[in-house]
Amino acid sequence: MEIKVVKKALAAGEAVAGEIREKLAENGVYMVNFMGSPGSGKTAVVERLLESGLGGLRTAVVEGDIATTADAERLARFDIPIVQVNTEPFGGDCHMPPNLLASGLEDFDLSALDLVVVENVGNLVCPAEFDIGENLKVVVISVAEGEDKPLKYPLMFRESGLCVVTKTDLVGALDFELGRLRENISRVNGTISIIETSARTGTGIDELEGFLISRTGETIT
């Protein structure tokens, strides 16, 4: 005998993500989920954004890593609320699960915030799979990773609304063509926005800052 069930396997996590989304909306908070490979420059981009001031948006950061509080310590110089979420010190979840994020967000007074920046666990595969209640998924890719990555990791690029290309100051030192990367990104996702940046030189950070300010403004007002 066959019993029809039709149940989403990730329903429990999706429900938590839904609760997060609701809570953020109630408090008029926009949430951005930065994803990308380890070493792609996610933390450096977040650092530059915080330095830029983000137009006065009251910002908090959730740092996700498998282990260490290194990233939270790196951002401690900014006078903003920061929480570090570790998935499992000996090699646990490869992405930020919604339930861990929910407990991390409890540390914040959401009514006193406009923007929450989540830096997901470094990984170009798994974080794309899980809804965490964010308004915007951002994929960060450095030029050192190669132009073919959107084709090799399509889900990440398909699910994201913005691609931040990092380390563009290295283009001259690498056999890398930005045009080919853009072409590969648009084959997977023709509607994604792309911003080229360098955390070292500051190129593109203004554009990224402006993008996030305008998206936040559109959503929370």
Partner 1 sequence: MHELSVTQRIVDSVLEEMDERGLERIGAVHLKLGRMTTFVPDCVKFYYEVLTADTPLAGSELVIEEINVTGRCNNCGAELEFDEPFFVCPECGSVDIEILSGREILIDALEVPDEREVGIGDKGR
Q: How far apart are CB 129 and partner 1 at their closest, in Å?
A: 6
Residue 1 binds partner 1 (CB under 8 A) = yes
Site string for partner 1, 115-144 (x = CB under 8 A): ----------xx-xx---------------
Backbone angles phi, psi at 159, to 5 degrees: -80, -20
| Of residues 100, 57, 102, the one with CA closest to residue 78 | 57
Residues 188-207 that bind partner 1 (CB under 8 A): 188-191
- Structural contact between residues 153 and 182, judged by C-beta atoms closer than 8 angstroms: no
Q: Considering only 32-40, 104-112, 182-190, 194-202, which stretch makes contact with partner 1 by CB under 8 A? A: 182-190
Of the pair 92, 217, the CB lying nearest partner 1 is at 92
Q: Is 186 in the site for partner 1 (CB under 8 A)?
A: yes
170: left (phi over 0), alpha (psi -120 to 50) or beta: alpha
Which residue's CB is nearer to partner 1, number 75 or number 97?
97
Range 128-161 burial, b when 16+ CB lie within 10 A, else e = bebbbbbbbbbbbbbbbbbbebbeebbebbebbb
Please identify, using beta-carbon distances, which residue of 172 and 190 lies nearer to partner 1. 190
Residue 93: CB minimum distance to partner 1, A: 6
Select 88 or 206, whichever has its Cβ closest to partner 1.
88
**DSSP bridge partners of 35:** 139
Q: What is the DSSP string of 22-33?
A: HHHHHTT-EEEE
Q: How far apart are CA 164 and CA 44, in angstroms?
A: 12
Under the binding rule (CB under 8 A), the answer on residue 90 touching partner 1 is no
CA distance 175 to 178: 10
Least Cβ distance, residue 126 to partner 1 (angstroms): 6
Q: Count the residues of the shown chain that bind partner 1, applying the rule CB under 8 A.
A: 30
Note the residues at the interface with partner 1 (CB under 8 A).
1-13, 93-94, 97, 125-126, 128-129, 151, 154-155, 158, 186-191
